[in-house]
Amino acid sequence: MTSTSSLSQVKLHGIAAAPGQVVAPAWRWAESRVHGSGTDLTGETGINRLQIAIRDVKAALATKATGLQARGAAAEAGILQAQALMLDDPALLDGASSLIRKGRPADAAVAETMAPFAEMLRASDDEVFKARAADLEDVVEQLRRALHGVSDMPPPPATPSIVVARDLAPSQTAGLDRTLVVGFATEQGTATAHTAILARALGLPAVVGIAGLVDAVADGQSVLLDGDRGTLVIDPSPGSVAHVAGPKPLVTDAAPAVTKDGRRIDVGCNAANLEDAQRAAAAGADGIGLLRSEFLFLGSDRLPTEEEQVAMLEQVMAAMAPRPVILRTLDVGADKPLPALPQPAEANPALGVRGLRLQLLRRPELLMDQLRAALRIAAGYPLRLMFPMVSTVDEVRQVKLLLEKARRELNASPRMEVGIMVEVPAAAVTADVLAKEVDFFSLGTNDLTQYLFAADRTNPDLASLADSLHPALLRVIDQVVRAAHSEGRWVGVCGEMASDLGAVPFLIGLGVDELSVHPPLVARIKASVRGLDAAECARVATAALQLDSGTAVRRLVDHSVSKT
C-alpha cells in the first residue's frame, strides 16, 4: 500500500518487524552481486577455474583470520588457517583435476575427491578429528561457492544506511555490519519469519512485506524507517524527521508477575546470543524461555565444536544466574538455512528436514555435541534442554536414548529438565502421550500457526490468515495445556504470541504457566499480567473457543478482559 502524506514524501506500508525509528540513505541490496554467474566448470576451463577458486578462497580465509586475530580471537583464526592448509594439499587439486578430465564438473569433482577424507575423519573416535571433518566439508562448500561466483553478502555500504532488499536470509541479516546498517526494509517476509526475529534480537529496526519496495526506492535516497508502525517514508519532510524517536531505554522489572487472584506467571525472554541474555537479565526476566542455539552458529561459516558451545553457554548462564535457561537444540532448515550446514534443496523446506529431524536423520554427531555440551553446563547451572520440530513420540524416545548415551560418555548425571517445542499439529494432538515423556512443553506458536493454517510464515500475503487469536489455534493450545497439566507438566509459550499484549489474557485464561518474550517487553508483559484476573481470563478464553474468527475473539477481549 502506498500513500502520499505531503507534497513530496511517499509513505510505503508493510509489516512492523522490529521496533525503532531511523532516518538514513537507502542502500539497495544488489542481488546481482549475491547470485552465481553460471561459469563453465568442465574440461581445462574447469581445472583453471578450480585453481582460481582455490587461490580466492585461500585469500579470503587469510583476510578473515587476520581480522579475527586483530580482535583477539586467536583460536578461531587458527581454524581458518588450518582450512587454508587443506587447500594446499596436492590431493585436492590432483584428485579433482583427474575427475574433471574424465568429464565431471569442477564442483562435483571437488566434493567427490574430498568426501572419503571427511568420512575418515568423521569415523575417528577423537573429537578433534571429528571437528576437522566439518571444517573440511566447509572448505568444499566455500570452493563450490567460489566456482559459481556466489557470495552470500555484497560489500557493505560506504556510509550508515538502511538496507532495502527483496528479501534477506537470516544468515545475511546476522552478517550485516552493524556500524554501517542501521535498519532494513524488505518486500518479502512477515513478523514471525526468522529474519524479523533476528532483527529484533539484533535491535535493528525493520519493516518487512512492503509491496513494490525495491522499485520505489533509489540508492542514496533519504528514507525514514519506522519499525514500530511498519512504514517507510521516502524523502521524509524535515518535520517528520524531527519526530524520530531515539532508542528507548530498557525498563527493569524484577518483581514476580502475579495475577490479581494470585497466579504466578513466569516471564522469561527469548535470546539468540550473549547480548540478548544480558538484556534479559537487565530487564528482570525470570529466565531465558528460549535460547535459539542456531543463531549462535549463524554468523559463522563453520559449526562450533562441543568445547566452543560449552564456552558460549557458560557465558549466557553466568549472565542469567541463578535464573534458568532453556537451551533449544539446533533448529535449522526452512526459512533458517545455516551456511555452515548446507543441505540439499527440497521442494517444501518448511515441511522438510528441519529442526530435530535434521539432526536425527542426517547429523546425529552434531546433536551429540549439543547434548554433551548441555549436560556439562547442567552440572553447574540450571540449564533445561528443549527439542524443536517434534512430530512423534518416537522422535522423543530416540533423542532421550541419545541423551542417555551422552550421559554415559561423560559419566555425568546432573538433573536436567527436558522438554519439547509443541509446534507441529501432530505433536499438539498427541500432547497427552508426549507429556508422559518430558518435563515441560513450550508452544512454538509461530510454527504451530503456520502448520495449522497451512500458511507459510514468510509469505506476507498470508499474514492475516495465520491469525494467532483464531479459535482454531486457541482450541489447540487449550488441548495441549490440559494434556500437560493432567500429567503435572508445565507449559510455556515462546512464539511471538507471548509478546502480543492482546493475546496474553487468552494464554493465561487457557492455563499457560510461562511466557517467553523479547527483553524490551518484559516490564510491559509483567504489568499486564498483574492487571489481569486469571479466573476472569479463563471465562473469556472458554467463550473465545466457541467463536468463529480471530476478529470476533478480539472484539470479546475489548469488551471484557480490558475491563477487569
Q: Which residues bind ligand PEP (CB under 6 A)?
A: 197, 290, 292, 331, 423, 444-447, 494-495
Taking the complex as a whole, the smallest distance from the CB of residue 519 to Mg ion amounts, in Å, to 19
All residues at 6 or more sequence positions from 551 whose CB lies less than 8 Å from its CB, including other chains:
none
C-alpha cell at 234: 521516502
List 194, 269, 470, 518, catalytic entry: 194
**Binding track, positions 411-450, relative to Mg ion; x by CB under 5 A:** ------------x--------------------x--x---
If the CB atoms of residues 147 and 389 are measured against ligand PEP, the closer one turns out to be 389
Q: What are phi and psi of 257, to 5 degrees?
A: -95, 110
From CA 151, how far away is CA 154, in angstroms rounded?
A: 7
If the CB atoms of residues 290 and 477 are measured against ligand PEP, the closer one turns out to be 290
Catalytic residue check, 194 = yes
Q: What angle do CA 249, 250, 255 make, to 5 degrees?
A: 145
Closest CA to 176 of 191, 200, 157, 148: 157
Taking the complex as a whole, the smallest distance from the CB of residue 47 to Mg ion amounts, in Å, to 44
From CA 523, how far away is CA 251, in angstroms rounded?
A: 6
If the CB atoms of residues 161 and 273 are measured against ligand PEP, the closer one turns out to be 273
Contacted entry of ligand PEP, Mg ion, none for residue 520, CB cut-off 5 to 8 Å set by kind = none
If the CB atoms of residues 53 and 201 are measured against Mg ion, the closer one turns out to be 201
From CA 451, how far away is CA 423, in angstroms rounded?
A: 8
List 148, 269, 494, 537, catalytic entry: 494
Taking the complex as a whole, the smallest distance from the CB of residue 358 to Mg ion amounts, in Å, to 13
Give the nearest residue (CB) to Mg ion.
447
Burial classification of residue 405, based on how many CB atoms lie within 10 Å of its CB (0-12 exposed, 13-18 middle, 19 or more buried): middle
Contacted entry of ligand PEP, Mg ion, none for residue 494, CB cut-off 5 to 8 Å set by kind = ligand PEP
If the CB atoms of residues 130 and 200 are measured against ligand PEP, the closer one turns out to be 200
Closest CA to 267 of 532, 528, 478: 528
Q: What angle do CA 343, 289, 411 make, to 5 degrees?
A: 75
Taking the complex as a whole, the smallest distance from the CB of residue 285 to ligand PEP amounts, in Å, to 16
My answer on whether omega of the bond before 519 falls inside 30° of 0, hence cis, is no
* Residues between 88 and 147 that touch Mg ion (CB under 5 A): none
All residues at 6 or more sequence positions from 549 whose CB lies less than 8 Å from its CB, including other chains:
470, 471
Taking the complex as a whole, the smallest distance from the CB of residue 447 to Mg ion amounts, in Å, to 4
Catalytic residue check, 269 = no
Contacted entry of ligand PEP, Mg ion, none for residue 445, CB cut-off 5 to 8 Å set by kind = ligand PEP
Active site residue ranges: 194, 494
| Footprint of Mg ion (CB under 5 A) | 423, 444, 447
